[in-house]
Amino acid sequence: MRYDVAVIGGGPSGAVAAAELAKAGLSTILIERHLSNVKPCGGAIPLGLIEEFAIPDPLVEKKLSKMSVRSPKGRTISMRMPNGYVGMVRRERFDSWLRDEAAKAGATVTEALVRKIDRSSDRFTIHLSKDLPPVEASYVIGADGANSKTADELGFPKNDLKVIAMQQRFHYCDALKPYEELVEIWFDGEVSPDFYGWIFPKTDHIAIGTGTEEHRHNVKHLQRRFVEKIGITEKPYLDEAAKIPMKPRRSFTQERAILVGDAAGLVTPANGEGIFFAMRSGKLGAQAMIDRIRYQKPLSAYEKKFRNLYSPIFFGLQALQSVYYKTDRLRESFVAICEDRDVQEITFDSYLYKKMVPAPWSVQMKIMAKNIYHLAKGS
């Protein structure tokens, strides 16, 4: 059988894309190498995503409105989100629910590793593992993560900036009790010299992790130091690690193929948030593909729309990371600035619904003055 669209990779981006295509009546196959895959991930998602994709309550293990940030000197700023929360999901359950939604919408979900893709003038031939017959499709969506095989096979530009992130899951113990209902972020050069460390509670465990630019530092050492600094003496029951591509590829659209989610590099700098952008790009990409098949509109509309919507956020967070993630002195200043209520409000509003919320001039001037003060003081 020849499908209209083959979606390669059954994480959040691929599952959302497949559901959208199938709902529109296009014949769609979703190819995932391991249906029982446990993607290494903190599983923190914003309220806006939960609402847009109608994520059912039982999948959202915690709804956390309390958050704190910790500086290299151990100064902790506590914050509360007045109008929302960070949802905590467990990826093994979340991804599987999303794939079920795609199947319910009519997509064929297949477990197989994509090994090779051949392209002819009107179709792709996708070669699979396990001696399965190749799949033919008129269009392809590459949703196969940071090391995308689809991107390599189809000759997309390279995915260059990657962070390597490690996470460990711990059962609750005395040292972790204070974190049961709290998201905590550590800005501390000993935990990460160029990213941050996180403590994310779930119902029956806490996920603790850190990241650093690939090849620059040893992430295992950083993680060990982080765990020591928190004061945990118990052993984790699961270690996980994966790459995070924190820079969009130069281009992620071709004539008959697109990349979505991590495959396209759609994770924001500074906070490494990728689930929201994976699902939004999956949806936007699928909608562009529906328009391509029905009305011969170019697939480039997808990339244009994504960039129009989210480039300011990527740009702002890149600037923040470039300024503040360099030294402990700068990290200390960053945490000090987080104490400001206006900064908290702007940050939470932008995080929850992914909209850049312009602050009034008076607030901008006040924040700038505080910025200069803390940077000069080094606090």
Ligand X SMILES: Cc1cc2nc3c(=O)[nH]c(=O)nc-3n(C[C@H](O)[C@H](O)[C@H](O)COP(=O)(O)OP(=O)(O)OC[C@H]3O[C@@H](n4cnc5c(N)ncnc54)[C@H](O)[C@@H]3O)c2cc1C
Residues in contact with ligand X by the rule CB under 6 A: 8-14, 31-34, 37, 39-45, 113-114, 143-145, 149, 165, 167, 209, 242, 244, 261-263, 267, 272-276, 278
Query: Residue 44 CB, nearest distance to ligand X (Å)?
Result: 4
Cα dist. 93→36, 42, 55 in Å? 9, 13, 11
Query: Residue 358 CB, nearest distance to ligand X (Å)?
Result: 24
Query: Residue 341 CB, nearest distance to ligand X (Å)?
Result: 25
Query: Residue 132 CB, nearest distance to ligand X (Å)?
Result: 12
Q: State the CB neighbour count (10 A cutoff) for residue 63.
A: 14
Query: Residue 236 CB, nearest distance to ligand X (Å)?
Result: 13
Query: Residue 144 CB, nearest distance to ligand X (Å)?
Result: 4
Evaluate whether 286 touches 21 at the Cβ level (below 8 Å): yes
Question: Of 72 and 261, which CB lies nearer to ligand X in the complex structure?
Answer: 261
Question: Of 214 and 339, which CB lies nearer to ligand X in the complex structure?
Answer: 214
Cα dist. 48→52, 60, 70, 173 in Å? 6, 13, 26, 32
Question: Of 34 and 294, which CB lies nearer to ligand X in the complex structure?
Answer: 34
Query: Residue 209 CB, nearest distance to ligand X (Å)?
Result: 5
Question: Of 230 and 336, which CB lies nearer to ligand X in the complex structure?
Answer: 230
Measured from each CB, the residue nearest to ligand X is 274
**Closest-CA residue to 298 (of 344, 264, 253):** 253
Query: Residue 192 CB, nearest distance to ligand X (Å)?
Result: 12
Rounded CA gap, 301 and 285, in Å?
A: 9
E strand segments, the chain: 2-8, 28-32, 44-46, 62-64, 66-70, 76-80, 86-88, 108-111, 114-119, 124-128, 135-142, 162-170, 183-186, 197-201, 206-213, 238-245, 257-259
Rounded CA gap, 262 and 8, in Å?
A: 12
Evaluate whether 181 touches 62 at the Cβ level (below 8 Å): yes
Rounded CA gap, 190 and 324, in Å?
A: 15
Question: Of 119 and 329, which CB lies nearer to ligand X in the complex structure?
Answer: 119
Question: Of 200 and 375, which CB lies nearer to ligand X in the complex structure?
Answer: 200
> Which one-letter DSSP state was computed for residue 336?
H
Q: What is the largest CA-CA distance in the chain?
A: 67
Question: Of 217 and 366, which CB lies nearer to ligand X in the complex structure?
Answer: 217
Question: Of 124 and 340, which CB lies nearer to ligand X in the complex structure?
Answer: 124
Evaluate whether 30 touches 137 at the Cβ level (below 8 Å): no
Rounded CA gap, 288 and 306, in Å?
A: 11
